[in-house]
């Protein structure tokens, strides 16, 4: 059974600080996705990582993938209040034909002044 | 613009009733999925379909069914609603995993 673990599950940050969210998964895969969810809203795609060593950046967020370690990171640089949301990572295992997503439990990020 | 829509946005139903949640996408995607979201569990896969007349069970399929009669729609049916099925339900679609997944806006279902 594929397991996807995120940590921390809750993160309270001050504006201007840096931090990293970690996503570990238990099976072979080279496809990992990061989503953002605001309260009461749907999931917004942030990054799609499709190979070992992939790195993508958008604004203050940067995601990377290490398939050998089965680890992805979401790095937050100089956090601002607008980044407050819940962040999910999700993995498609190779034996599902790269189709079904398995999600982590999410990291609730709160950025305060 | 292409989109994926879910209806209703909110529904309250009684225990034992049959309920159907609608999902309609205009992306022309072959792959469609239903997830439920519960606090402390993230999103869990209920059922999915790779194309017309294809359906598959996910991690938490007991008590749910789907059918795929065309490319655009994948309705989710709760055969006999239970309080444990109170949740937020999300539909998603994709053409391929490399292209990512698009999620609907969700249906909040309360079973009383």
**One-letter-per-residue 3-state SS of chain B:** CCCEEEECCEEEECCCCCEEEEEEECCCCCEEEEEEEECCCEEEEEEEECCCCCCEECCCCCCEEECCCCCCECCEEECCCCHHHCEEEEEEEECCHHHCCEECCCEEEEEC
Q: Which residue from A minimizes the CA distance to B36?
A: A103
Average pLDDT over residues B57-86: 97
Of the candidates B84, B93, B103, the one whose C-alpha atom is nearest the C-alpha of residue B38 is B84
pLDDT category of residue B67 using cuts at 50, 70 and 90:
very high
CB contact under 8 A, A33 and B98: no
Q: Which two tokens stand for residue B66?
A: 């789907």
DSSP character string of A30-92? S-EEEEEE-TTS-EEEEEEE-STT-EEEETTEEEEEETTTTEEEEEE-S--GGG-EEEEEEE-
C-alpha span between B34 and B88 (Å, rounded): 11
Chain A interface test: which of B33, B101, B106, B108 (most A C-beta within 10 Å): B101
Mean per-residue pLDDT of chain A:
92
What digits encode the pLDDT tens for the residues B1-33?
Answer: 889 999 999 999 999 999 999 999 999 999 999
Closest CA of chain A from B103, distance in Å: 6
Would you say B106 and B5 are in contact if contact means Cβ atoms under 8 Å apart? no
> If you average pLDDT over residues A28-37, what whole number do you get?
89
Q: Is A93 on the interface with B (CB under 8 A)?
A: no
Tell me the average pLDDT across B58-77. 97
**What pLDDT does residue B96 have?**
73
What is the reported pLDDT for B97? 62
**pLDDT band, very low/low/confident/very high, at A96 (cuts 50, 70, 90):** low
Residue contact A48–B90, C-beta within 8 A: no
- Contact yes or no for B100 and A33 at CB 8 A: yes
Q: Which of B2, B11, B1 is closest to B89 using CA atoms?
A: B11
**A93-110 mean pLDDT:** 84
CB–CB of B42 and A103 under 8 A?
Answer: yes
Q: Measure Cα distances from B44 to A33, A36, A49 in Å.
A: 15, 16, 21
B contact test, residue of A36, A45, A99, A106 with most B CBs within 10 A: A99
Closest CA of chain A from B80, distance in Å: 26
pLDDT reading at B100 higher than 90: no
Asked whether residue A80 carries a pLDDT value surpassing 90, the answer given is yes
Out of B41, B44, B100, whose CB is closest to A45?
B100
pLDDT over 90 (residue B98): no
pLDDT in the model for residue A31: 86
Distance in Å, alpha carbon of A16 to nearest chain B alpha carbon? 28
User: What's the CA gap between B2 and B44, in Å, rounded?
Assistant: 25
Average pLDDT score over residue span A34-61: 94
Please state, in angstroms and as integers, the Cα–Cα distance from residue B45 to each residue in A47, A65, A101, B48, following that order: 20, 23, 8, 8
């Amino acid at each position: 059974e594929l397991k996807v673990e995120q940590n921390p599950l809750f993160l309270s940050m001050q504006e201007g600080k840096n931090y990293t969210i970690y996503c570990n998964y238990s099976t072979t895969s080279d496809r990992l996705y990061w989503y953002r969810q605001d309260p009461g809203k749907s999931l917004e795609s942030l990054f799609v990582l499709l190979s070992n060593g992939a790195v993508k950046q958008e604004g203050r967020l940067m995601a990377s993938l290490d398939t050998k370690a089965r680890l992805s990171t979401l790095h937050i640089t100089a956090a601002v209040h607008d980044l407050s949301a819940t962040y999910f990572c999700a993995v498609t295992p190779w034996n599902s034909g790269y189709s079904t997503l398995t999600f982590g439990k999410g990291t609730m990020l709160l950025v305060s002044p | 613009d292409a989109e994926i829509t879910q209806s209703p946005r909110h529904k309250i139903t009684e225990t034992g009733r049959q309920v159907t949640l609608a999902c309609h996408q205009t992306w022309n995607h072959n792959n469609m999925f239903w997830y439920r979201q519960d606090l402390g569990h993230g999103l869990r896969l209920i059922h999915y379909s790779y194309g017309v007349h294809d359906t598959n069970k996910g991690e938490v399929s007991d008590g749910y069914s789907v059918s795929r009669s065309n490319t655009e729609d994948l309705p989710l049916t709760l055969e006999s609603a239970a309080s444990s099925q109170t949740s937020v339900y999300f539909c998603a679609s994709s053409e391929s995993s490399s292209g990512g997944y698009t999620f609907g806006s969700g249906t909040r279902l309360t079973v009383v």
